[in-house]
Structure 1
Amino acid sequence: MSVELSTYLRILHRNWILIVALTILGGAGAYGYSVLQTPTYEANTQLYVSVRSDTSGVSELAQGTNFARQAVVSFVDVVDSAIVLDRVINDLDLDTTAQQLARWVEASSPTNSVIISINVSNTNAETAAAIANSVGMNFADVVVNGLEKPEGDAASLVRIETIEPALVPTAPSSPHTTVNILLGIVVGLGLGVAFAVLRSILDTRVHSLHDIEAATEAPVLGGIALDPDARKRPLIVHADPRNPRAESFRSLRTNLQFIDVDGSSRSFVVTSAGPGEGKSTTTSNLAIALAETGARVALVDGDLRLPRVAEYMGLEGGVGLTDVLIGRAELVDVLQQWGTGKLFVLTSGRTPPNPSELLGSQAMQRTLDALAEAFDYVLIDSPPLLLVTDAAVVSRFTSGVLIVAASGSTKKPALAAAVEKLEAIGSRLFGVIVTMLPAKGPDSYSYGAYSYAAPTDEVSRDEKPRDERGRRRSQRQQDDT
């Protein structure tokens, strides 16, 4: 129950602008409707119906009263009849017909009562009161001296007297502006909530870490906040080390260090379900963050279709991975050191006509084995999983896969399909990295939570021996060459 409540609260928080806008719009619309309506005034008069008796006995009085109660039921229908309303029109010189006037006249009587209430509505207060009093007077005359008058000169036994004359109303009865505004606010609020829930149900995009958890059981390794200037400075860890977004990559690095990988090598394919989700930027920044700890890191541009690593890292990308795979160059000759640390980059090289075949070749496996032997971490940037098979093919030669999903862009069915594709070929998915998360709001991510677990200015105890192993592997590789 608490999970459902938190989900609804998150939906309301995410769509609060829409809900508030519709609520205000509902209230404003109701106010506008009320202003445009012509004010209507109501006047009310009450008549008392009785039956006279020649004797004053109790039984006769009771019979008269019962007769009056029964007669009132029929008298109510007489109030708005033409025989009465035509007289009212003549008396007040009204420019209307009995049929039209009947729409404004309403008569009623409580059960077992001899009281008749006549209610008249009109756009003019004085006219409403005049019509009500005229209807009461003419109704009484029609019944007493017409419908209920005995033959001959005998007086009618029915008496109808006005006990409450109609007064000129001081305030309009409609529109009820306050009530209408409150009703408009309630309707607007209801529509806002309904639209928010419907929008959330129909929206299949990933927005938060909760959406990731709904799409896959793989853990969320980290969240990267949205940066509108990411294209201008993609390497935020290097360009602005104290930036909160740079700290989020260090948090991701810390989580990656705790991944339980079989064997001593840690090689990861970084991919995504679709294009434009920030995988190349994430891979490059993660490589820099890992190198800050003193670990030897190899960054491989395995996207032989649309390479980006060389551009982001500011390196020459004309010779690289493809040259090694076809035997045109040696691995040690095309690895380029980046910065003053222990980060080495293997660019993609020239674009081949058969990327999938090259990436699935034995040469690729030997290359990755050599990199895993010489470096503590190997990160391979690869194309989207659902577009081509490159990432799935390379993942067979590595420790596992890291999937990048963009908040507000990646669709949950696409992410689930990418995970199923990895499971189908037996590749190990270590976790999901969520990019482009909003810095504020219900979908924001507390990306500084682990920033002190792996400081950037000192090497952890676990990383020092790994660094020594990397040096020894590199030295052996150089001796062999």
Structure 2
Amino acid sequence: MTAVEFSAYARIVLQRWRLIIALILLATVTAYVTNAQGPVAHRATASLSVTPSIVEYWTGQAVERLLNNYALQIRSRPFASIVAKAAGLPEDALTGRIRAVAAPAEFRLSLEVDDADPELASTIVNLAANAFVSKIRAEISGRERQDIRLEVLEPALRPDSPVSPRPGRAGLGGAIAGALLGAGLAVVLTFWDGRIYTSGDAERAWNAPVLGAIPSGPPMIGRASSVARKDGRAFSRAAPIRPAGTPPLAGTRGSR
């Protein structure tokens, strides 16, 4: 973007600043109020360690794919039913609520659960972590070679503060969105507006230089007068510009 284009956009924003401010306020208030009325949720997180017996390049690649598969199993409906039974909840109570995020570079798998009750959130995620470790250990226990070691790296603690609602963050996001929307709308409205405000607008409209412009302000009146030069010749000059309604000044005419 050149300096000319930037100045043009800046002028558009300054011309329609009322519209932009109105949209910023509207978006901020709407986002703040909407988010503040949302349900309260506390997030509990537990971490699992998935390490290979021999750490090398090909083993690391296999563990990366294995972690992604483990994450899919944890998010599945059958596993959610197992955890729900262990927590004494209906079978479909946890469907879609247990999340898993794989971090292959750290050989780590994170489990997350959100709930209005912070104690229940930590209980559910710890049950899920222990249930999954027991499930995988049972699957590999009968193998002669156990290449993967799975254990609970960090159990979930009771969350101290909720992750939602956060009206302050939502209001800030609304303000940014309102500013972007207002600036874009100002540019569109200016593009649709065929009126000319400055000499630059006229030059761009007709692709020709501006030869003169009428200054803004009260009308001014000029009057020609003649004054004598030291060599005896006379020349004309414009009398001082005066506002309309002011009595004219008397001029003198020199002689040759």
Check whether TM > 0.5. yes
- For 2:88 and 2:149, the matched residues in 1 are separated by 27
Aligned to 1:148: 140
Paired residues of 1:136 and 1:162 also in contact (CA < 8 A)? yes
CA deviation digits over 1:117-175, x for unaligned, max 9? 21222233222111101101211222223x23429xx9x99754323111111122234
Indicate the SS of the match to 2:159.
coil
Paired residues of 1:49 and 1:159 also in contact (CA < 8 A)? yes
1:380-395 matches, within 5 Å, as none
Paired residues of 1:41 and 1:123 also in contact (CA < 8 A)? yes
Contiguous gaps of at least 5 residues in structure 2:
225-239
- For 2:147 and 2:248, the matched residues in 1 are separated by 113
Deviation at 1:186, TM superposition (A): 1.4
CA deviation digits over 1:240-278, x for unaligned, max 9? xxxxxxxx13x1x33xx57xxxxxxxxxxxxxxxxxxxx
Q: Is 1:168 matched with 2:158?
A: yes
Q: What is the number of equivalent residue pairs in this alignment?
A: 230
Question: Aligned letter for 1:62?
Answer: I
Aligned to 2:167: 177
Indicate the SS of the match to 2:103.
coil
Paired residues of 1:41 and 1:173 also in contact (CA < 8 A)? yes
Question: Aligned letter for 1:37?
Answer: G
Normalised by the size of structure 2, how large is the TM-score? Answer: 0.71
Question: Aligned letter for 2:155?
Answer: P
- For 2:106 and 2:180, the matched residues in 1 are separated by 43
Aligned to 2:41: 40
Deviation at 1:29, TM superposition (A): 1.9
Distance 1:106 1:88, change over 3 A: same
Paired residues of 1:12 and 1:193 also in contact (CA < 8 A)? yes
Paired residues of 1:30 and 1:184 also in contact (CA < 8 A)? yes
Distance 1:46 1:211, change over 3 A: closer
Paired residues of 1:69 and 1:112 also in contact (CA < 8 A)? no
Distance 1:203 1:40, change over 3 A: same
Greater Rg by CA? 1
- For 1:62 and 1:9, the matched residues in 2 are separated by 61
Deviation at 1:212, TM superposition (A): 6.0
Paired residues of 1:30 and 1:181 also in contact (CA < 8 A)? yes
Deviation at 1:453, TM superposition (A): 7.7
Identity across aligned pairs (percent)? 24
Distance 1:197 1:48, change over 3 A: closer
Greater relative contact order structure (CA < 8 Å, 6+ sep): 2
Normalised by the size of structure 1, how large is the TM-score? Answer: 0.41
- For 1:456 and 1:192, the matched residues in 2 are separated by 47
Indicate the SS of the match to 1:44.
strand
Paired residues of 2:24 and 2:182 also in contact (CA < 8 A)? yes
Paired residues of 1:30 and 1:180 also in contact (CA < 8 A)? yes
Question: Aligned letter for 2:173?
Answer: L
CA deviation digits over 1:79-103, x for unaligned, max 9? 2344432222122222451xx6241
Distance 1:108 1:220, change over 3 A: closer
Aligned residues: CA RMSD: 3.8
Q: Is 1:62 matched with 2:54?
A: yes
Paired residues of 2:82 and 2:91 also in contact (CA < 8 A)? no
Paired residues of 2:43 and 2:114 also in contact (CA < 8 A)? yes
Question: Aligned letter for 2:130?
Answer: M
Paired residues of 1:84 and 1:142 also in contact (CA < 8 A)? no
Contiguous gaps of at least 5 residues in structure 1:
52-60, 225-247, 259-449, 466-481
1:135-284 matches, within 5 Å, as 135-145=128-138, 147-150=139-142, 160-207=150-197, 217=210, 219-223=212-216, 248-249=218-219, 251=220, 253-254=221-222
Question: Aligned letter for 1:107?
Answer: A
Question: Aligned letter for 1:150?
Answer: G
